[in-house]
Chain A
Amino acid sequence: MDSPLIRITDLKKHYQMGGTTVRALDGVSLDIEPHTFTVVMGPSGSGKSSLLYLLGGLDRSTSGQISIGGERLDQMDENALALFRRRTLGFIFQSYNLITSMNAAENVSFPMQFTGIPNAERNQRALQLLEQVGLADRAHHRPAELSGGQQQRVAVARALVNNPSLILADEPTGNLDTASGVTVMQLLSELHRSGRTVLVVTHDPRMTRFATHKIYLLDGHVVDEDEYQSAALEMSQGSNESLEIK
């Protein structure tokens, strides 16, 4: 068995909201192996997005350790984090986050502007990736001219443009219809099969069929599948207890 790509130890993320301390993550510890497809499941407010943003170095933890590929993210300064993201990570967001004034190819090549790769090479790589996600004929269309599924496929191509070893996806199918959602998940599955580590946070149980590993989060804690399922059952039976905010 490989040594873990991601090691999280006693990770906490607390923040203040209207005088109340919200414990988004409250002592999470877990390992994620390389070349796995991990789905982090949890209802809204369980802390799964917080976990993803901390793993992506986009936010700072309250305490705890995050290590990716042996590098301690919690000890990096802003500049080192930016370079780490550029080198190692690819992000996919629920709302795509495409730049509306740029066409699909420009959006895909956008992250490479910060790497110093020559322009011609950037364009070539963007077109190649758009072809890979089945959007070669849409390269010069702007986001407004693309469907939600197509926009998310552009975002997937963009996430791959710097050839990252770890793909982090935040509710990638959240804004998509079922068919488009399946297409995107299949794309992510292909990325996993090509040797990348994929971590998806979602509350959609259908996504687990592509996963090699599943992590369940409830109220900022990692729980086992049984506990998660019983909580989900309670929720579906109309329990008055909120699972979302502790």
Chain B
Amino acid sequence: MKFFDLLRLILGNLSRRKARVALTAIGVVIGTAAVVILVSLGIGLQKSATDQLYGIGDLTLIDVMPTYGGEGGYYVGSGGGGPAISLSSELQEPALLTNSALEQLRLIPGVKAVIPRDYLGTQTVIRYQRMEGGVNIIGIGTNDLSTLGMEAGQGTTDLAKGTVVIGVMTPYNFYDPYQRPGQETPPPPELLNEQIQLIVIKWDQDGNEIRKTLSLRVTGILNETGGEADYSIYLPLDLVKSMNEWAYGTRINYNKTGYNQVIVKVEDPNQALDIADQITALGFQAISPQSFLQGINNTFLILQLVFGGVGAIALLVAAIGIANTMAMSILERTREIGLMKAVGATNRDVLSIFLGEAAGIGFIGGLGGIIVGWLAAQAINVIAIIYLAGQASQQGGAPPSVAVYTPIWLPIFALIFSTFIGMLSGLYPALRAATMIPVQALKYE
């Protein structure tokens, strides 16, 4: 039997029993709509969570730290929904982030940049006019912070000698140490293109405080990242190194001691986990936000499966409805089946016709279900975003861009799945029809 003849016959048979087909298909509509809505909700929640994570951490960055040997080193794996970092109890060989190690990292395919960084390890104060503040000082081995994916909200990301690029929250750390009670608290200073003083403090053997002051011009204020960068100021690594040498009174040779931390920037966020694994294999510790993201994704995958499962229960009920309708239909059409066989239909032809009719009910219901599900998802989205935006404005958070998200694969999958469920439900009745003995079918009363 040709496919189009089969299709025409199936459509004809379905249209002969419009009311029954429609009533049976309504069950499938409800089941499919439930799958579409619930899975869309799961995906929407995941998207909302991961979008926020994208805001916090650049997924193309991997933090690499040395391993000093002994027990209890970090191991950062790429797998599973479990913790992104696990403690390893194995003995590890020391692996220092020397310049030659950095060269090794640069050779890993997919690595775009390898940038060392260090913290200023002594007490510091920053001063602007009468105001002072504490701040996290990071020395960075690049003269352009955009290499790390950072963006300047004001000014530049370039780091030149005598300049500093600051995090967006840094001005809020300033206070007036001479403020008297009752006096109004000054607003955060506008620091772009202003000179600030960086006061580095150390103590001699007798406990006397020794101060060193550096004058720096603020050439850039970074965009908000939601992370450490917002409360830090960035200086060239050499400057931080020299300040650390002054503070500790000893020369630092990165070729011997290695860097405390290196940032590896990869070309494609999807490669980050693989590259982190390769770095770990070299003996270093590597932490990628991608591994956290994968953990989140795995959690949401479980959530989607649970949601999808709830929808699938509705589809299961619909499937029983299809099976019932098909069984009734076959009972009513027993003589027709006998006739089909008498005029030359093979068992396979009969099976195809009845399976096709069952699949047709699944398809019609699935089509209705994805339309209803999609419309309901859009409605939920509008209502939820209005509600969550209101909540976010009260609590000071960022409003979500999406609450329910229906990716293109979901309706396609739902349609195929509902058709398959229809076919599966019709399998037993169709097999019964196909294997009927023609003479018994023809004599059926």
Contact = CB atoms under 8 A, between A and B. Distances in A.
Interface of A: 53, 56, 58-60, 78-79, 82-83, 85-87, 91, 93, 97, 99, 101, 110-111, 113-116, 119, 158, 162
A59 B438 contact: yes
Nearest to B341: A82
Contacts of A59: 437-439
Interface of B: 1-2, 5, 8-9, 16, 335-336, 338-349, 437-439, 442
Nearest to B347: A78
Contacts of B1: 113-114, 116
Nearest to A107: B339
Contacts, number: 71
Given A82-B341, A101-B16, A116 B442 contact: no
Which of A58, A85, A91, A93 has the most C-beta atoms of chain B within 10 angstroms of its own C-beta?
A58
A85 B344 contact: yes
A115 to B, nearest CB: 7
Contacts of A162: 343-344
24 contacts: A53-B439, A58-B341, A58-B437, A58-B439, A58-B442, A59-B438, A79-B348, A82-B344, A82-B345, A82-B346, A82-B349, A85-B343, A85-B344, A86-B343, A86-B344, A91-B342, A93-B442, A97-B342, A97-B442, A99-B336, A114-B1, A116-B1, A119-B5, A162-B344
Contacts of A82: 341, 344-347, 349
B343 A91 contact: yes
Given A58-B439, A113-B5, A116-B2, A85 B336 contact: no
A119 B6 CA distance: 12
A78 B2 contact: no
A54 to B, nearest CB: 9
A85 to B, nearest CB: 5
A114 B339 CA distance: 12
Given A78-B347, A82-B347, A58 B342 contact: yes
Contact of B343 (A53, A114, A119): A114
Contacts of A86: 343-345
B344 A114 contact: yes
A108 to B, nearest CB: 11
Contacts of B346: 78-79, 82-83, 114
A158 B343 contact: yes
B339 A113 contact: no
B339 A97 contact: yes
A163 to B, nearest CB: 12
Given A56-B342, A78-B346, A91-B343, 19 more contacts: A53-B439, A58-B342, A58-B438, A58-B439, A78-B347, A79-B347, A79-B348, A82-B347, A83-B344, A85-B341, A85-B342, A91-B342, A97-B342, A101-B16, A111-B344, A114-B5, A116-B5, A119-B5, A158-B343
A56 B347 CA distance: 16
Contacts of B345: 82, 86, 114
B300 to A, nearest CB: 49
Which of B5, B16, B348 has the most C-beta atoms of chain A within 10 angstroms of its own C-beta?
B5
Contacts of A60: 437
A78 B437 CA distance: 10
A87 B2 CA distance: 17
Which of B9, B335, B338, B345 has the most C-beta atoms of chain A within 10 angstroms of its own C-beta?
B345
A204 B346 CA distance: 33
Contacts of B347: 78-79, 82
Contacts of B442: 58, 93, 97
A115 B336 contact: no
Q: Shortest 3 CB-CB distances between A and B: which pairs?
A: A86-B344, A111-B343, A58-B438
A88 to B, nearest CB: 9
A20 to B, nearest CB: 19
Which of B336, B339, B343, B442 has the most C-beta atoms of chain A within 10 angstroms of its own C-beta?
B343
Nearest to A99: B336
A115 B442 CA distance: 21
A99 B344 contact: no
Nearest to A59: B439
Which of A60, A82, A111 has the most C-beta atoms of chain B within 10 angstroms of its own C-beta?
A82
A99 B336 CA distance: 7
Contacts of A115: 344
Contacts of B348: 79
A78 B344 CA distance: 10
A113 B9 contact: yes
A58 B438 CA distance: 5
A158 B340 CA distance: 12
Which of B340, B344, B345, B347 has the most C-beta atoms of chain A within 10 angstroms of its own C-beta?
B344
Nearest to B348: A79
Nearest to B440: A59
A113 B353 CA distance: 12
Nearest to B344: A86
Contacts of B349: 82, 114
Contacts of A79: 346-348
Contacts of A113: 1, 5, 8-9
Nearest to A87: B344
Nearest to A80: B346
A119 B340 CA distance: 18
B339 A99 contact: yes
Contacts of B439: 53, 58-59
Contacts of A58: 338, 341-342, 437-439, 442
Which of B2, B338, B438 has the most C-beta atoms of chain A within 10 angstroms of its own C-beta?
B438
A83 B9 CA distance: 19
Nearest to A93: B442
Nearest to B345: A114
Contacts of B340: 114
A87 B338 CA distance: 17
Contacts of A119: 5, 8
A4 B1 CA distance: 32
Nearest to A106: B12
A76 B345 CA distance: 15
A53 B338 CA distance: 12
A110 B2 CA distance: 14
Contacts of B8: 113, 119
Contacts of B9: 113
B295 to A, nearest CB: 55
